């Protein structure tokens, strides 16, 4: 019997987080900084919890927006924060005044920065478009931007230059990644020709950090690997082909409890739409976690959890705040017993990758969609 006031919660392993961080540090070496990407509530792990664990271990945290940046600043007033996502004009003044670094890829934003006439310098990272075709500076516009920054060096500090790969995780063919890398190096030559020597040069997220040493430059951006998950199956295959032995430890365990145990007679249905009909007298457990908590509705009659030391299949449709599982084959399950939704119980495990495969998505989405309201408990 588990004693807890929570009906569903997430546990974060401090030791696993440390292990993955140290693994990434060893891969890139002492001369390369490791920026820890904690956007999307630290990929569902809990932004405040992850930052509190690692605040003395890293030089820089990377986020999507200013709201996330402020959460970090409340925890640690000195650590560097880089906003990778879109910063609206309305938030640029606050961003600069609070010493956050942020991404710039247009002359319009640079002109707006100057128009604010702030005392503090804006710390910017120019994102180079190399083939992903999201936010980024096209090659033809780079010189105009560099010229403007140089003329306004008293108001703008070019802290970083970077890009993002389009096709490292999803393929064993490195040709497009190499093409992007060449485009980035060509752009970097132009940046240096204009007299800039930005301290933070970065192209590699988790997969590239593992696979391409030439992509490390002065900093990597550690995202999904920090949390003990692999960017893709192809990344692991590529590592094996290079005879690289790297291990990661999943940081997150998602748990719940048994809310009710009940008997369903042969021929009776379970859940909305009557999509599961009992073929025998069955014992089921009601688990108080559903799609509003992040357990995808597509796992209806497809997912599984661990309870009583055994796997229990999800039966019927996943509801907003509940799922039902078949425990006919499991002895001794009682109300209040612990349930593992993602993670290990004894020798058994349900992984984010397993759930992602079943619903046709990626592990990133499975973990980042766990409701941020659920308690995150550091263990």
How far is it, in rounded angstroms, from Cα 239 to Cα 235?
6
Q: Is 90 exposed, middle or buried (0-12, 13-18, 19+ CB in 10 A)?
A: exposed
Q: Is 85 exposed, middle or buried (0-12, 13-18, 19+ CB in 10 A)?
A: middle
Residues in Cβ contact with 372 at an 8 Å cutoff, skipping those fewer than 6 apart:
41, 44, 46
Distance of CA 321 to CAs 292, 324, 325, Å?
6, 11, 14
Q: Any catalytic annotation for residue 227? A: no
**3 state SS of 19:** helix
Orientation of helix 89-97 relative to helix 107-115, angle to 10°: 60
Catalytic residue among 39, 123, 127, 255: 39
Q: Any catalytic annotation for residue 272? A: yes
How far is it, in rounded angstroms, from Cα 19 to Cα 66?
29
Element (H, E) at 377: strand 376-378
Buried b (16+ CB within 10 A) or exposed e, 177-203: beebbebbeebbeebeeeebebebbbb
Asked if residue 234 lies in contact with residue 169, where contact means CB atoms within 8 angstroms, the answer is yes
**Phi, psi of 209, deg, nearest 5:** -60, -40
Q: If we measure between CA atoms, which residue out of 169, 97, 166, 177 comes closest to residue 136?
A: 166
Residues in Cβ contact with 332 at an 8 Å cutoff, skipping those fewer than 6 apart:
308
Catalytic residue among 86, 182, 272, 344: 272
| Cross-strand pairs, 276 | 270
Catalogue the active-site residues: 39, 272
């Amino acid at each position: 019997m588990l004693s807890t006031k929570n009906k569903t919660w997430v546990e974060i392993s401090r030791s696993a987080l440390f292990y993955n961080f140290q693994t990434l540090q060893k891969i890139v070496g002492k001369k390369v900084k490791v920026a820890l990407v904690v956007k999307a509530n630290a990929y569902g792990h809990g932004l405040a919890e992850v930052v509190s664990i690692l605040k003395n271990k890293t030089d820089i945290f990377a986020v999507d927006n200013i709201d996330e940046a402020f959460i970090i600043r409340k925890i640690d007033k000195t650590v560097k924060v880089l906003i990778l996502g879109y910063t609206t004009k309305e938030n640029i003044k606050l961003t600069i005044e609070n010493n956050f670094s942020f991404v710039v890829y247009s002359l319009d934003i640079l002109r707006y920065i100057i128009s604010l006439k702030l005392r503090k310098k804006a710390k910017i990272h120019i994102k180079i478009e190399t083939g992903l075709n999201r936010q980024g500076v096209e090659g033809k516009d780079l010189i105009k931007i560099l010229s403007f920054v140089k003329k306004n060096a008293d108001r703008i500090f070019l802290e970083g230059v970077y890009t993002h790969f389009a096709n490292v995780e999803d393929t064993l063919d490195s040709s497009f990644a190499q093409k992007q890398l060449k485009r980035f190096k060509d752009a970097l030559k132009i940046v240096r020709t204009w007299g800039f020597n930005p301290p933070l040069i970065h192209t590699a997220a988790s997969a590239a950090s593992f696979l391409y040493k030439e992509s490390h430059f002065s900093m990597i951006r550690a995202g999904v690997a920090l949390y003990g998950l692999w960017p893709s199956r192809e990344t692991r295959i590529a590592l094996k082909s290079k005879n690289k032995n790297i291990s990661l430890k999943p940081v997150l365990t998602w748990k719940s409890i048994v809310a009710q145990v009940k008997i369903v007679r042969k021929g009776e249905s379970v859940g909305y739409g009557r999509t599961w009909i009992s073929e025998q007298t069955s014992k089921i457990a009601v688990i108080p976690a559903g799609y509003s908590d992040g357990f995808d509705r597509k796992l209806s009659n497809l997912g599984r959890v661990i309870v009583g030391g055994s796997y229990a299949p999800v039966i019927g449709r996943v509801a907003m705040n509940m799922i039902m599982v078949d425990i006919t084959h499991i002895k001794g399950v009682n109300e209040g017993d612990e349930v593992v939704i993602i993670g290990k119980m004894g020798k058994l495990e349900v992984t984010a990758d397993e759930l992602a495969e079943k619903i046709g998505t990626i592990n990133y989405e499975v973990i980042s969609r766990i409701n941020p309201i659920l308690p995150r408990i550091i263990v």
